[in-house]
């Protein structure tokens, strides 16, 4: 097993993990909440280092990331475990699995980078389950990836400590974070965490120079009030900037939350329209095909810049980062390095 980073040794072979905001105190022979970091004799081990449950080459738009390397492919890896217990998780079969209960394949950091390059990917994404708990593996692979000119992406719930995020900063370029709701009650009841650490980590990621995009799954009866959504949008504009792409996605029943209806498209469109009124430059609608809110438009003149259909995209109105119609500079990352 691979010794973990981001932990401190205590008395009686107890350790305290400082990787995620649970900051688990772990006795000998026990795991943290994530299920993959284990204390053996006062040493914390990352038990899933190099062990992969899912491997694919995805369009970057599937993450979803719309302003980071648009139109490119991302070599995507997932492991097992999670530091949340979301009742509506779509990847519960790996996020709630452990090392012994999943089919895992060994891929070293160097082999991962080689596979990404061989398959024509512009970036590597750690996704499908929570990448925070894969810290040592992503750090090693990401450092090699950046040296080869690849982009690097976390698709994350944002429940990471400042010290862990700071350690990742030299290699991590994009932080695609779920803002699952804008109430602590939702986070406690539905996810098993708290809101403020996610907000703090997202602000810190921005300060560290990472590209930020947010995703909010709008769930009927839980986080779908316009008051809550407006509060979230205002927070993003104030703390992350109006240029931050926000994705508002349709909920579909899954896992332990099969008793709720799918999100009405009209509500999502209303949220996107209101976001524009509040000053957000790039609101998007997710999980709804063939919507005009999938496309990127110039916030100055309204010209279409990137046309999307599902996970495919076509750049129509950009010259590098400038709108070809009016010359407005668009907040978008076109090159990994």
Q: State which of 41-45, 98-102, 285-289 shows the largest mean pLDDT.
A: 41-45
- Is 331 in contact with 299 (CB distance < 8 Å)? no
Evaluate whether 331 touches 280 at the Cβ level (below 8 Å). no
For the beta sheet containing 304-309, the strands, ordered from the edge strand earlier in sequence to the opposite edge, are 296-297, 304-309, 312-315
Rounded CA separation 138/4 (Å): 12
Residue 116 reports pLDDT greater than 90 = yes
Residue 56 predicted with pLDDT over 90? yes
Bridging pattern class, strands 211-218 and 174-178: parallel
Report pLDDT for 97.
84
Model confidence at 100, pLDDT cuts 50, 70, 90, reads confident
Q: Render pLDDT for 254-267 as a digit per residue (tens, 0 to 9).
A: 889 999 999 999 99
Using CA of residue 187, residue 192, residue 196, residue 202, what is the dihedral sign?
Answer: negative
- pLDDT given for residue 113 in this prediction: 98
Quick one: residue 23, left, alpha or beta (phi over 0 = left, psi -120 to 50 = alpha)? left
Report the first-to-last Cα separation within the chain, whole angstroms.
Answer: 33
Task: Say if CB 107 and CB 138 are below 8 A apart.
Answer: no
What is the percent of the chain with per-residue pLDDT over 90, rounded to a whole number?
A: 92
Preceding peptide of 64 cis, ω within 30°: yes
What pLDDT shows up at residue 222? 97
C-alpha 130/C-alpha 94 separation (Å) is 10
pLDDT at 277: 98
Instruction: State the pLDDT at residue 254.
Output: 87
**Residue reference for tokens 């491997």:** 55
> Judging by DSSP bridges, how do beta strands 123-126 and 73-78 pair with one another?
parallel
- Quick check: 17 and 26 in contact, CB under 8 A? yes
Average pLDDT over residues 304-332: 95
Q: Does position 220 have pLDDT exceeding 80, yes or no?
A: yes
Contacts of 180 (CB under 8 A, 6+ apart): 86, 157, 186, 187, 190, 191, 198, 216, 217, 223
Cα-to-chain-centroid distance, residue 68: 13
Residue 106, pLDDT > 80, answer yes
Structure tokens at 62: 């599937």
Residue 183 to residue 179: CA distance in whole angstroms: 10
Spatial distance between the Cα atoms of 104 and 202, rounded to a whole number of angstroms: 30
Q: pLDDT of 62-95, one tens digit each? A: 999 999 999 999 999 999 999 999 999 988 899 9
Query: By CB neighbour count within 10 A (0-12 exposed, 13-18 middle, 19+ buried), where does 166 fall?
Result: middle
> What whole-number distance in Å separates Cα of residue 115 and Cα of residue 57?
10
Residue 290 has a pLDDT of 86
Strand partners, 154: 126, 175
What integer is the mean pLDDT of 194-202? 98
- What pLDDT is stored for residue 158 in this prediction? 98
Please classify residue 251 by burial: count the beta carbons closer than 10 Å to its beta carbon, then call 0-12 exposed, 13-18 middle and 19+ buried. Answer: buried
In sign, the C-alpha dihedral spanning 239, 244, 247, 248 is positive
Answer for the pair 12, 25: CB distance below 8 angstroms, yes or no: no
Q: Are 284 and 293 in contact (CB under 8 A)?
A: yes
Q: Which residue matches tokens 């350790």?
A: 15
Q: Which two tokens stand for residue 281?
A: 């430059």
Instruction: State the pLDDT at residue 201.
Output: 98
State yes or no: pLDDT of 139 exceeds 90: yes
Among the listed residues 4, 38, 19, the one whose alpha carbon sits nearest the alpha carbon of residue 160 = 19
């Amino acid at each position: 097993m691979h010794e973990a980073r981001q932990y401190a040794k205590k008395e009686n072979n107890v350790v305290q993990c400082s990787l995620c905001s649970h900051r688990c105190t772990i006795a000998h022979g026990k795991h943290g909440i994530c299920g993959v970091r284990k204390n053996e004799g006062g040493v914390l081990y990352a038990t899933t280092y190099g062990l992969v449950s899912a491997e694919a080459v995805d369009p970057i738009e599937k993450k979803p990331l719309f302003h980071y390397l648009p139109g490119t492919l991302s070599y995507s890896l997932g492991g097992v475990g999670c530091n949340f217990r979301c009742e509506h998780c779509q990847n519960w079969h790996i996020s709630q699995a452990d090392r012994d209960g999943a089919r895992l394949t060994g891929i070293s950091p160097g082999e991962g980078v080689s596979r990404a390059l061989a398959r024509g990917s512009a970036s590597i994404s750690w996704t499908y389950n929570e990448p925070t708990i894969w810290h040592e593996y992503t750090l090693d692979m990401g450092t090699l990836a950046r040296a080869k000119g690849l982009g690097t992406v976390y698709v994350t719930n944002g429940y990471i400590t400042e010290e862990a995020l700071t350690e990742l900063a030299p290699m991590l370029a994009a932080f695609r974070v779920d803002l699952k709701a804008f109430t602590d009650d939702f986070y406690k009841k539905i996810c098993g965490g708290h809101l403020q650490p996610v907000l703090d980590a997202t602000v810190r990621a921005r300060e560290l120079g990472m590209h930020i995009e947010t995703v909010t799954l709008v769930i009927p009866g839980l986080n779908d009030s316009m008051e809550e959504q407006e509060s979230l949008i205002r927070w993003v504009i104030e703390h992350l900037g109006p240029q931050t792409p926000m994705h508002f996605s349709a909920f579909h029943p899954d896992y332990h939350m099969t008793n709720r209806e799918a999100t009405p498209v009209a509500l999502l469109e209303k949220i996107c329209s209101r976001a524009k009124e509040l000053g957000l430059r790039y609101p998007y609608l997710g999980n709804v095909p063939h919507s005009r809110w999938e496309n990127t438009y110039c916030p100055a003149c309204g010209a279409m810049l990137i046309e999307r259909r599902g996970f495919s995209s076509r750049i129509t109105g950009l010259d590098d980062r400038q709108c070809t119609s009016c010359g407005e500079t668009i907040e978008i990352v076109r090159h990994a390095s």
